Structure 1
Amino acid sequence: MSDIYADIRPFNDNEVKAVLERLAASEELVGALLKQRFPGWPAAVLLALRPLFHWRLRAQLQRLTSVEKFQMWLEPQIEQLLQRSTSVVEVSGLENLDPGKAHVWISNHRDIAMDPTMINYSLHQAGWPTSRIAIGDNLLQNPDVADVMRLNKSFVVKRSIANKRQKLRELQRLSGYIRHSAEQGQSVWIAQREGRAKDNRDKTDTAVLKMLALHGRERNESFAETMQQLNPVPVSIQYEWDPCDQLKAAELVAVAQCGDYSKADDEDVRSILLGLTGQKGRVKVNFGQPLATAQLQDADMMAAAIDQQIAEMAEIWPVHQAALSLLRQQWPQHDWPELADNSDIAAKRQQLLQRLAGNDDVIRRQMLENYAAPLLLPVAP
């Protein structure tokens, strides 16, 4: 039988061995791993270590014969990553959901790789099956990255297609794959919008929801009937500190001033690595409630329901208050919301000032607005 999803789906168990052999032989991957493992070491030393590292990586990977075993091999790496880059990870809401059901997790989107990592980490820690992950093809230009992501249950969203008719066909196929996953009992994670909310204003794009419904239209289902089969659940992800805060602010300022922003060729990969390894402080993952039938009548109603749950699950932290206090202090002419100052935010204010140092005023203000976003008035749609 033809595998109509072969080029977008995650790798199957029978493909794992060949993919791992490719990765173990990759000079680029081994070089990146050595730099991460031994930061600051001389290039000559890292070069000398390459043969040994190739051998060690090949020895570890050749024992892995399935996607599940690969994820179990990754587990201690994720644990170490979180120990180094977070102060605490809090997860709530799964206790109110049925682990026997497949869900479509629809979350806000703050970090390219950490968001799905935190979803699957939270599920695994609770004894749930991990979910399949929607990831844009713009992030898979590097073949090593593509291999690792598809080994880790990621499937491809083809965003880069320009032809409208071809793009629609790919969206229909993507919608079919997500429905196929649900019917297999496999949960799926997808962000509420294409691209990260760089200004930290979380708003669901109805285009994402309409894509989810495309396959149902082929079955003559209503929008609500299709969504009931997918069992969508909103999820809120919060990071106290954003390792990419300066990069995001600079991009927002460039777009505001010039109308456009051109990414460097390796910018997405650098953002992935920075987001994974940078300090995030407190992290909170809140799983919400399955959306009710009355909230699934059309894309607009569903988007509003997702936005409401994500907003209600989000918490106000001292870093948000500290950012607002600095905005009020440094740009007093602006009509900022009122804030009851207190000693609890003093330390966060100092940390923010350290992160702001060396940046132009316009980027400093954008960074502060991003951190203060939960306390600022919503952006008009």
Structure 2
Amino acid sequence: MSIDNDPYKEIRPYNDDEIPAALDRLINDADFINAIIKYRFSHKSAWFKQLVSPIIKFYLKLKWSKLKSVDDIQFEVKNFMGSTLDKTSNGVTYTGLENLDPNQAYLFISNHRDIAMDPALVNWGLYNAGHRTMRIAIGDNLLKMPCATEMMKLNKSFIVKRSAKGPREMMKTLGQLSAYIKHSLETNNSIWIAQREGRAKDGNDMTEPAILKMFHVEGRRQKIPFSDYVKSLKIVPVSISYENDPLDVAKANELYQMEANGHYQKTEFEDIESIVTGIIGEKGRVHVSFGDVVTDDFETPDLLAQEIDRQIHDLYRLYPINLLAAGHKSDSITDETKATLAAKLRQLPENAQTKLIEMYANPVFKKK
């Protein structure tokens, strides 16, 4: 298929032949270079930052000159993930991968706590178990800067156009997205998508039936019943559990502001800052559990959502801080656990503290 006839060109990730040009655009993007300088040299003076900019561009040009394909990029991301998890976690464990066929494409639907780390952790497990990495669904609300779009499309991300307006445009967008997901699976490319639009900031992991309905838009076009079409997608629920959420205080504050004031005003680059904090922040222990392929008949999106929720809640790994927040008594709850939770609460106004407690307690209640 030529690029001119590609119906998915505007939403799909880059192909091998598009990688060098995309990297070149990224290196020459002032916002991208400035972002690196901001996070690596924030304490340095303005003249130093101006001086270091061409050096960073030269370094990246040299470092990335050997990257010619999607697999090359994935190898670089794998190395970055390894070193990042060594620094920011107390170990990542996996269960359920042994039940999946490395030669089969799956539609992975996971709970959603962190913008970048959720799909990255699923990919990390797949890569190390000999599976191909997935294509990742990402909302266009996170792609306000051209360099963000470049980075995501380089890393096998495809765009979900949440900003579509009007019934006709929305139906066209949903049709394109639904068809692209099916096309990816049929060409042996697994997909990751969150169970809901936006993160579960309150720790309440629930699947939105609207997302499952979107999957079937292509099925309806092909006149395939919902239950049959869903089985063809090879859906695998995935449950991701973080012992420590690096953004927990920020999320609790946002939830409190929403409740108290009826709205919460994001700063211009808050989503980007959340991505960075999620990547470099301390996570404690992390567990990723892959569920069973959905093979039963589910006649409606609501019934399918219940099954995905059941698996995600059952597979969620609880940590001592979850049990403490939920008011449980357990030998695993140490003085250190109590001190950790108390330190988090001290960073919030008293009225907002219950939001943070609920965030860690909700997975316990859902598991019951």
> TM-score normalized by structure 1?
0.92
Deviations 1:49-69 (A, max 9, x none): 222211010111121111111
Shift of residue 72, structure 1, vs aligned partner: 1.1
Determine if the alignment matches structure 1 residue 153 to structure 2 residue 156. yes
Match of 1:316 in 2: 318
Contact 2:323-2:333 within 8 A present in 1 as well: no
User: What SS does structure 2 have at the residue aligned with 1:238?
Assistant: strand
Shift of residue 115, structure 1, vs aligned partner: 0.5
Contact 1:200-1:373 within 8 A present in 2 as well: yes
Superposed, 1:1-381 pairs within 5 Å as 1=2, 2-38=5-41, 40-294=43-297, 296-325=298-327, 339-342=328-331, 344-376=333-365
Could you tell me which amino acid in structure 2 is paired with residue 283 of structure 1?
Answer: V
User: What SS does structure 2 have at the residue aligned with 1:367?
Assistant: helix
Contact 1:322-1:345 within 8 A present in 2 as well: no
- Partner Cα separation in structure 1 for residue 347 and residue 156 of structure 2: 40
Shift of residue 309, structure 1, vs aligned partner: 0.5
Q: 1:41 to 1:82 in 2, by over 3 A?
A: farther
User: What SS does structure 2 have at the residue aligned with 1:344?
Assistant: coil
User: What SS does structure 1 have at the residue aligned with 2:115?
Assistant: coil
- Partner Cα separation in structure 1 for residue 347 and residue 191 of structure 2: 41
Contact 2:161-2:173 within 8 A present in 1 as well: yes
Contact 1:322-1:346 within 8 A present in 2 as well: no
Shift of residue 369, structure 1, vs aligned partner: 1.3
Deviations 1:37-89 (A, max 9, x none): 34534443333222221101011112111111112122221111111111110
Deviations 1:129-162 (A, max 9, x none): 0000000000011111110100100000000112
User: What SS does structure 2 have at the residue aligned with 1:161?
Assistant: coil
Number of aligned pairs?
365
User: What SS does structure 1 have at the residue aligned with 2:90?
Assistant: strand
- Partner Cα separation in structure 2 for residue 54 and residue 168 of structure 1: 42
Could you tell me which amino acid in structure 1 is paired with residue 162 of structure 2?
Answer: R
- Partner Cα separation in structure 1 for residue 294 and residue 83 of structure 2: 35
Deviations 1:310-341 (A, max 9, x none): 1110122101122234xxxxxxxxxxxxx225
Deviations 1:252-304 (A, max 9, x none): 1122222222322211111111111111111110000001222x322111111
Contact 1:201-1:378 within 8 A present in 2 as well: no
Q: Greater shift after overlay, 246-255 or 31-40?
A: 31-40
Deviations 1:182-226 (A, max 9, x none): 110100000011110110111110000000011010001000121
Q: 1:36 to 1:127 in 2, by over 3 A?
A: farther
User: What SS does structure 1 have at the residue aligned with 2:13?
Assistant: coil
- Partner Cα separation in structure 1 for residue 321 and residue 273 of structure 2: 25
Contact 2:321-2:333 within 8 A present in 1 as well: no
Q: Greater shift after overlay, 369-378 or 351-360?
A: 369-378
Unaligned runs of 5+ in 2: none
- Partner Cα separation in structure 2 for residue 318 and residue 375 of structure 1: 11
- Partner Cα separation in structure 1 for residue 46 and residue 342 of structure 2: 34
Contact 1:81-1:277 within 8 A present in 2 as well: yes
- Partner Cα separation in structure 1 for residue 213 and residue 135 of structure 2: 19
> TM-score normalized by structure 2?
0.95
Contact 2:314-2:367 within 8 A present in 1 as well: no
- Partner Cα separation in structure 1 for residue 45 and residue 128 of structure 2: 38
Aligned residues: percent identity? 40
Deviations 1:238-265 (A, max 9, x none): 1111111112111211222222223222
Q: Greater shift after overlay, 342-351 or 227-236?
A: 342-351
Shift of residue 376, structure 1, vs aligned partner: 3.6
Taking only aligned residues, the RMSD between alpha carbons, in angstroms, comes to 1.7
User: What SS does structure 2 have at the residue aligned with 1:170?
Assistant: helix
- Partner Cα separation in structure 1 for residue 295 and residue 317 of structure 2: 23
- Partner Cα separation in structure 1 for residue 296 and residue 238 of structure 2: 18
Q: 1:154 to 1:31 in 2, by over 3 A?
A: same
Shift of residue 112, structure 1, vs aligned partner: 0.6
